[in-house]
Structure 1
Amino acid sequence: MTENTENAAPAPAIRRSPHRAWWVAAVSGLAIVAAGAFTTMSGLLVGPLRAEFGWSRSTIGLAVSVNMALYGLTAPFAAALMDRFGMRRVVLGALTAVAAGGVLTTAVTRTWQLVLVWGVLVGLGTGSLAMAFAATVVGRWFVRRRGLVLGVLTAAGVVGQFVFLPVLSWTADHHGWRLAVLAPALAALVVMVLVRLLMRDHPADAGVPPYGSAVFVAKPPAVPGAARRALRVLVRAARTGPFWLLAGTFAICGASTNGIMWTHFTPAAHDHGMPTTVAASLLALIGVFNVAGTVGSGWLTDRTDPRRLLASYYALRGLSLMFLPLLLAPAVRTPLVLFVVVFGLLDVATVPPTIALAREYYGEDGAIVFGWANAAHQLGAGLVAFLGGVARDASGSYDVVWIAVGALCAAAALLALVLRRPGSRPVTGGGPGAVDGGPRTGSATAPCFPRA
């Protein structure tokens, strides 16, 4: 009997929905955006707080320094807490702290209150959603495209830090600084709903393998003693040379970005007669180029020696900062626009290669080790944020600060070249050092110490 196929219905097309890892990465990016909006607002608050309360730049800089220091110190503990209680709980707690800190900042009338709510509460919340969080997401959910996803998540932080600055600056000028602070607090509350709905702690919770792997990975048991583990990893890493080189270069990274640019660029430009809204717009433009620079850096990190990338980034950043005092003027000219483009491409480009090196050297503890390197980043940022204000109050100019920080960047370039790659051995898909599920030639995966 001949089968009649003329009237047979065509087979339904198989729909391939995006892997759950991309949804987790997307909502993680939104959380990073929400927290990032608070990390560059300090420069917008300096003028209004001085005008309303008569506080000095150094006094306001103290609250900013505490914020930046806690931002960094919180990251490794937050990464360990994610292993203990899960990413979703920690992220929800962090967004709650950020939103509460923003709301309470609008009610401050004393400097100690500013230190407590902006310095401590906002610092703890934003620190929990720093790049150590991005490293945790990528380490759990991705085997392939790690460098690219790290670049995208880093760019998400940039979007939060810079892209909204002109709007927030305009809001502060026309409706007061309090409304400008409340806006990102409301955004954090909205993101909390999405985190609750879409985020999962581990691929096993969604019944799928990590992206790029055909092997299902069972969810590891909760790791007790999160604080002890974070400190134990620090003690072990501190016995190795690569940790100090990574921490040292990243401390200089923080000094030359958060510490000087994100905190003092707007008031420094205003010193030269530039309107605050124009200066904030330039920072936003830096953020636009941050996105391209960071995603491109993640792509390059998958294919190039991260040490050489870091050396190049720091050297070029140092040169650009040394020239900045000559470029500031009441009006925006072409050389200043070129500075914005160059600095924007380099600003956050250091993050993907630094995370990659931390994972190559320290394996599964790489996220926590990077968290400690990020603590050094923020300590460097906080120190320069404070000293920059002191220097401005004492000398009436930021010029010496730009030159000094540029010289530090040159030192960071040299430190990056001192790093040695771990000894080479074959890698398997998904191991530290793997690129898109395959080996990276000449790289290694053996951590400097076993997992704590």
Structure 2
Amino acid sequence: MVQHVQTSLAARPGTARAWVVAAAAGAAIVAAGAFTTVPGLLISPLHHEYAWDRGQIALAASVNMIFFGLTAPFAAALMERAGIRRVAAGAMLLVAVGALLTSVMAAPWHLVAYWGVLIGLGSGCLTMTFAAMITGRWFVRRRGLVTGVLSASSHLGQLLFLPLLAWSVDRFGWRPPVVTLALVALAVSALVALFLRDHPADVGAPPYGGEHVVAKPAPARGAARRTVTVLLDATRTGTFWLLAGMFVICGASTNGIMWSNWVPAAHDHGMHATAAASMLSLIGVFSALGAAASGWLTDRFDPRHLLAWCFTVRAITLAALPMVLSSTVQPSLVAVVVVYGLVDVATVPPVIALAQRRYGDDGPIVFGWANSAHQLGAGGGPSAFLGATARDLAGTYDAVWAVLCAACLIAALTALAVRAGRSDRG
């Protein structure tokens, strides 16, 4: 009888709207994700066209990641105040403006301002914090699975756009791809405005898998104040520092090094940019699969154990990279890329689950701050800027791979020390 009631509720027309909302949110995350790998494609063209140092160009990527990370927790609170739909649609417009301005830039600081600041702010509103709010409001059942799929959406953007962008850069130069992405962002902004809704109560339906319509909470006042208050409360717990520490390492060993320096690193071994971009796209394919699988597993197993396995496997792949990179795509490189991709975004669903279990309604904001640590690790660690600088000084990325490998092993041990309960306040 209970199963029949749950099935009937899940099949009600109103509850199907949850999947429409998830799809619209996924489209926004896909579009924002397409911008994350573009700096890696721009390093060589901008270096040759303007004679800018690689470090100067990579600085824009680092600033982008830092603004991306710092925006996320405030965006979560702003969405509670102004509405998810308004903030998400406005964020896509900001991304589009930043991309269009980049196409007419003339100095390195322009790249930092347009790509680093404007696109960083816009895309920072469409992070996994955004995904956590969607799943928290719209889903009771399948929450882990939907979280995993939305987590994978960012890398799906790379899968859909990166090979085409790399080919376009080779054939037409760097400006047409940037303008194309700006137009895509404008289209997605309209899509979000049309189909995204803030809460199931807006359409008179319960969350997917829920038994009752949940009242829509009143708009939260003092969004910035609440964001800081939640942070201050969270910093009194050991769980927050462990999650943030792991995500610093996670950011440095994924977005920071791969999305900004992968193409130049592969090019150092004689690989053509299009082939290198295809390998990065392959990482995106398996990141999507890995994130979805991680979400499914998070519903069933201890998230801490999943995190430990993910970081251990990532450490092994990073250690193997210098040995498998060459001028051509070899089976050994494909194997490393596939395994790395499977654990690339797989850390996100377990961390979201731990934040929600530990901090309740404040979980999305706490995760937003943990995600800030992720982006600080990506932008400020041995990653985007320092990785490119190390390449300029030493002529190789080998030391960077070794440092990140060791850091991932530390993160694996840290995961096992996390407490999911509420007894670590002090």
Please indicate the TM-score interval, normalised by the length of the shorter structure: over 0.9
Residues paired across the two proteins, number: 413
Task: Check the 8 A contact 1:162/1:285 in 2, yes or no.
Answer: yes
Partner of residue 432, structure 1: none
| Native 8 Å contact 1:158 1:291 kept in 2 | yes
Indicate conservation of the 8 Å contact 1:361/1:447, yes or no. no
SS in 2 for 1:228: helix
Q: Deviations over 1:72-124 (max 9, x none)?
A: 00000000000000001100110011000111111111111111000000000
Query: Which of the numbers 113, 118, 122 marks the counterpart of 1:121?
Result: 118
Question: In the TM superposition, what is the alpha-carbon distance from 1:16 to its structure 2 partner?
Answer: 5.4
Per the alignment, residue 339 of structure 1 pairs with 336
Runs (4 or more) in structure 1 with deviation over 2 Å come to 15-18, 446-449
Deviations 1:24-54 (A, max 9, x none): 0010000111111101111001011101111
Q: Name 2:156's counterpart in structure 1.
A: 159
Q: Offset of 1:215 from its aligned partner? A: 1.3
Q: Which residue of 2 aligns with 1:399?
A: 398
Deviation, 1:163, is: 3.3
SS at match of 1:212: coil
Residue-by-residue CA offset, 1:385-411 (whole Å, 9 max, x unaligned): 111011111101111001111111011
Tell me which amino acid in the other structure corresponds to 1:308. H
- Residue 60 of structure 1: which of 54, 57, 61 is its match? 57
Q: How far, CA to CA, are the matches of 1:218 and 1:340 in structure 2?
A: 46
Q: Identify which of 58, 76, 79 aligns with 2:76.
A: 79
- The alpha-carbon deviation at position 448 of structure 1 amounts to 6.1
* Cα deviations by residue, 1:178-207 (Å, 9 ceiling, x for unpaired): 111111211111112211111111111111
For 1:258 and 1:292, locate their aligned partners in 2 and report how far apart those are by CA, in whole Å. 18
User: Amino acid of the residue matched to residue 162 of structure 2?
Assistant: L
Give the match for residue 327 of structure 1: 324
2:8 matched residue in structure 1: none
User: Which among 36, 42, 46 is matched to residue 45 of structure 1?
Assistant: 42
Q: Find the counterpart in structure 2 of residue 10 from structure 1.
A: none
Q: Is the 8 A contact 1:360 1:447 kept in 2?
A: no
Q: Secondary structure at the match of 1:364?
A: helix
Unaligned stretches of 5+ residues in structure 1: 1-14, 424-445
Matched to 1:185, the amino acid is A
Aligned amino acid, residue 178 of structure 1: R
The aligned residue for residue 168 of structure 2 is 171
Q: Kindly indicate whether residue 22 of structure 2 is the aligned counterpart of residue 19 of structure 1.
A: no
Q: Is the 8 A contact 2:163 2:274 kept in 1?
A: yes
Q: Does the 8 Å contact 2:68/2:123 carry over to 1?
A: yes
Cα distance in 1 for partners of 2:195, 2:424 equals: 33
Structure 2 counterpart of 1:249: 246
Structure 2 matches for 1:36-435, cutoff 5 A?
36-383=33-380, 384-422=383-421
Task: Report how far residue 420 of structure 1 moved.
Answer: 2.0
Q: Is contact 1:293–1:345 with CA below 8 Å preserved after alignment? A: yes
- The Cα of 1:125 is off from its aligned counterpart by 0.6
CA deviation profile, 1:252-286 (whole Å, cap 9, x unmatched): 11000011111111100001100000000000011
- Counterpart of 1:39 in 2: which secondary structure? coil
Q: Which moved more, 1:129-138 or 1:208-217?
A: 208-217
Secondary structure of the 1:422 match is coil
Query: Does the CA contact (< 8 Å) of 2:238 and 2:424 recur in 1?
Result: no
Quick one: distance in 2 between partners of 1:265 and 1:190? 29
Aligned partner letter, 2:152: A
1:305 is displaced (CA, Å) by 0.2
Contact 2:90 2:189 in 1 (8 A): no
Q: Deviations over 1:360-384 (max 9, x none)?
A: 1100000000000000000000022
Is the CA contact 1:163–1:288 (under 8 Å) kept in the aligned structure 2? no
Q: Over residues 319-356 of structure 1, what are the superposed CA-to-partner deviations in whole Å (9 max), with x where a residue is unaligned?
A: 11011011110011111010011001010000000100
Cα distance in 1 for partners of 2:39, 2:160 equals: 15
Shift of 1:447: 10
**Contact 1:39 1:126 (C-alpha < 8 Å) held by counterparts:** no
Q: Distance in 1 between matches of 2:193 and 2:267?
A: 42
- The amino acid across from 2:420 in the alignment is R
**Is the CA contact 2:103–2:178 (under 8 Å) kept in the aligned structure 1?**
yes
Aligned 8 A contact 2:73 2:366 in 1 = yes
Structure 2 contact 26–153 (Cα < 8 Å) conserved? yes
Identity %: 59
The question of whether the paired residues in 1 share the 8 Å contact of 2:237 and 2:424 is answered with no
1:111 and 1:288 map into 2 onto residues whose CA distance is 32
- Maintained 8 Å contact 2:270/2:327: yes
C-alpha contact (below 8 Å) 1:362/1:447 kept by paired residues: no
Distance 1:22 1:326 in 2: 43
Q: Which of structures 1 and 2 has the bigger CA Rg?
A: 1
Q: Distance in 2 between matches of 1:366 and 1:421?
A: 12
Code of the residue aligned with 1:397 in structure 2: it is T
Letter in structure 1 aligned against 2:404: V
Quote the Cα distance in structure 1 between the aligned partners of 2:99 and 2:181.
Answer: 8
Q: Which blocks of at least 5 consecutive residues in structure 2 are unaligned?
A: 1-10
State the AA in 2 paired with 1:146: R
In structure 1, C-alpha distance between the alignment counterparts of 2:397 and 2:276, rounded to whole Å: 15
Contact 1:163 1:285 in 2 (8 A): no
TM-score by length of 1: 0.90
